[in-house]
Structure 1
Amino acid sequence: MRSYLDFEKPIAELESKVEELREVAARDGGVSITEEVTRLEQKADQALKDLYAGLTPWQKTLVARHPGRPHTLDYIAQLLEDFTPLAGDRVFGEDEAIVGGFGRFRGQSVCFMGHERGDTTETRIRHNFGMARPEGYRKAVRLMETAERFGIPVISLVDTAGAYPGIGAEERGQAEAIARSTDCGLRLSVPNVSIVIGEGGSGGAIAIATANKVMMLEHAIYSVISPEGAASILWRDTSKAQEAATNMKITAQDLMRFGVIDQIIQEPVGGAHRQPDVAITRVGDAIEQALGALAGQSPEDIRRLRREKFLAIGRSL
């Protein structure tokens, strides 16, 4: 059964009526209501297009957090062949909030990693809702350094509310682990591509997003802090999260305008959660194009282009 967000209630009502009419038609074969069903379907489709064409930053935040959006493991299953996951950071232990390994993407060997939120209560707990601990970021460094050693491009998917803020994580050096992962991404001599597929929160996101090409799905968000966190700090009132989301400029469209990201990947009408396979294919096409544009570049040029990209952020404003 499809899950609707609060602002999607008009769409939910229309689609519910369509389903009711279909059930009536199936039950009473002699009643012809095809025209009415078609009319309502067209009305629902148009209403969905109109709604998603004018989403507010807060509504985009809710879409980015939708539990039905495809997650990293879904992308791995559809885009990669012969995927071999790697576990552990060789220092403390395994952190399933970040999954990664090596496989073949459309005929090319790649290192592929990303935050995994999980899609059931059990898997969400196992993956800690995509909030990585230090060992998760040290695993990411291990993956990137292995890819560097063998000259393999790195692809990372960002989908986290932020790094895990627990006491144990801080005791094991959360800030240092994030900094080293960020630095490792910047130092790579192989091409790396990063895509924000849902929520890109704070250092937990940037730790694996310092790439030659940074892209976002159309309704994803990317920010230094969550809207709720910003509202709590600025106004000591989390109910002002909607106002914070608007002022923080966290949408793909805002970040493209500021030069923080390089490309927006269009989602299916109604969000990636409505047609996950289509969204994943579009991300795959964007990755292929980005890697193709970087193919043939020398290691020195790869590092130089990445450095220039990040140093240029904000300079033209």
Structure 2
Amino acid sequence: MNEPLVTDRAPASLAEPLAAARARVAEIIVDKGEVIDLAFSALLAGGHLLIEDLPGVGKTTLAQALSMAVGGSWQRIQFTSDMLPADILGVSVFRRQDEQFQFRPGPIFAHVVLADEINRATPRTQSALLEAMSEGQVTVDGHTHILPRPFYVIATQNPLDLSGTYPLPDSQLDRFLLRTRIGYPSEREERRLLTEPDRRRMLEQFEPVLNPEQVMQLIELAATLHVSEPVLDYIQALVAATRSHPEIKAGLSPRAALALVHVARAHALVMQQDFCLPDNVQAIFPALAGHRLQPIAEASASGDDVARAILESTPVP
């Protein structure tokens, strides 16, 4: 691991806890450093993360470990087919003694929310998260309620070929800044899982390394990291390539291009840098673009395939 960055932009009081938080999560989720970096990058860019993979590879464990590392309040919502929006957002209850309605917050009111198996809920229930994820607030019965800051949703999703799942609508997918997969560990690291203590027991002894105030400072700090003109040229070249690709219905939007800059800065901060490099853009581009690129009906490649192909074919400054 790189030495903690100590500059005017990233004082040791922030850099050291960030590096320690990443290291603590890596103790729980072995052999998945790139996935952990993406999870922290989404957090420090002020966005949300979607983890899509088969059951049993550590999606929920990663979400729990990261939420515990950053401190603050956290809630786990187990999505089911019979869940209603009020089960997530909360409900107004009439208090007879006061003769008025009182709002009872739902589990969405937390700094870190684990939306487990989000695609098992109906589209109506999935859409209840839209305002929360994009605006940091919820509206119930005409009243707006502000969510805690930072507010970070880590959602897990099973592949669509599993029974009892509903595809996430495009509007919902776009609210996730990054989408990633965990995959199987290497043979060597899987042996560690078989011989070392259960990760669930390790989580029981997990102590927060950061706190919400520090996370907000890191989010503000990430937004100030320098992005040079050549790196901006590289980002624009990648975005332009998605818009002209023959197998894609529509390329990345200007909002997605701006998100690419934000996440590249956040990734640079996670990697203990005080400026953004093409390496940071390359590390996060497939996770940002793959779920936003919709192939045409006759296309043979998926959005993820196209994103990787564009990354390989676009010259690096």
TM-score (norm 1): 0.32
Q: Which has the larger helix fraction?
A: 1
Greater C-alpha Rg:
1
Using CA pairs under 8 Å that are at least 6 residues apart, name the structure with larger relative contact order, 1 or 2: 2
